[in-house]
Amino acid sequence: MKKLRVIVPVLSMLPAFAIAANLITNPGLEQGSFVPTDWGTMGGGTLTYLQNQTSGNNCHTGTKAVSIQSPSPFMAGWYNTNFVPASMGQTYQVRAWVRSINFDSDDFVITYFEQYDAAKTSLGVLCGTGILGSSNWREISDVFAITNPSVATVRVFFLFGRSATATTGQAIYDDVTLELLSSPPSPSAIKAISHVGGLVTLSITNPTAGTSHSVERTLDLSTSWTTAGTFVATCTMTNWSQEFSNQWQRGFYRVTTTN
């Protein structure tokens, strides 16, 4: 009696939209007593945890914010102490609300995006564009792409900087956000196999459109892999089929990119 085994892929229904998660802990700076929870300082100067403030004045929302004055030697600020898992190919957006008071012409606020390896050793900093001048509350935004394969985690710094001249300016930060915008696509994978008579069909997900892929086969995993066929993907889900003269011949399959 012939056997028929069919494995049917089950596709989950995804929502039409999703809200990106904020990867900053205590982003509104509302948690904490003498210092905000999960926040630290960098550099010298007067770095203050502002409390019991009025929304729209010395805090953007809520009642708390962080302040930087007299940055020493030339830059100081606050950073979220949480190490956020990250990897090459990912893109992040950093946003923060900042109020800049009594800025000199060369005073600026800027975002640093520091990258670390698995041992939490710094691999260097990516700098935001920065903004100059005094202003009431305004949102600053930067996008950072990770291109170093050794990156394992990241942290974000919110800074007030000056040039050689002293400054009486003050920078106040509140309501910060770190969001993952994109990740590298998942590799092509065989999600299902159906075998009807002498025809085997593979359901392959996540192939790169326009790229040539190779389907490889081995009889028992102890022998070498051989190419069973190739295809050029046109969408994110495709089927590939091959007919065998011996319909009972067992095989193991994998899919690879050929260019």
DSSP secondary structure letters along 172-184: EEEEEEEEEEE-P
**Mean pLDDT, residues 204-219:** 75
The SS3 of residue 78 is strand
What's the pLDDT score for residue 74? Answer: 87
The domains of the chain are located at 39-182, 185-257
Cβ proximity of 243 and 196 under 8 Å: no
Specify the DSSP class assigned to residue 118: T
For domain 39-182, give the CATH superfamily. Answer: Galactose-binding domain-like (2.60.120.260)
pLDDT tens for each residue of 124-165: 999 998 889 999 999 999 999 999 999 999 999 999 998 777
Is pLDDT at 62 greater than 90 in this prediction?
yes
Q: Which of 39, 73, 66, 29 is nearest to 171 (CA)?
A: 66
- Judged against a pLDDT cut of 90, whether residue 84 lies above it is answered with yes
Q: What is the pTM of this model?
A: 0.67
Please answer whether residues 181 and 132 qualify as being in contact, where contact means their C-beta atoms are separated by less than 8 angstroms. Answer: no
- Alpha carbon 5 to chain centroid distance? 40
Taking a C-beta distance cutoff of 8 angstroms, is the pair 31, 80 a contact? no
Q: Is the torsion defined by CA of 56, 58, 64, 70 positive or negative?
A: positive
Q: How far apart are the C-alpha atoms of 95 and 111, rounded to whole Å?
A: 9
Tokens of 165: 């001249």
CA–CA distance, 30 with 50 (Å, rounded to integer): 10
Going by C-beta distance under 8 Å and a sequence separation of 6 or more, which residues neighbour residue 73? 43, 44
- DSSP string covering 194-221, please? EEETTEEEEEEESPPTT-EEEEEEESSS
Q: Which of 45-54, 56-65, 165-174 has the lowest mean pLDDT?
A: 165-174
The CA–CA distances, whole Å, from 221 to 117, 193, 251 equal: 35, 17, 9
Look at 63 and 204; give whichever has higher pLDDT: 63
Look at the chain and count its residues: 259
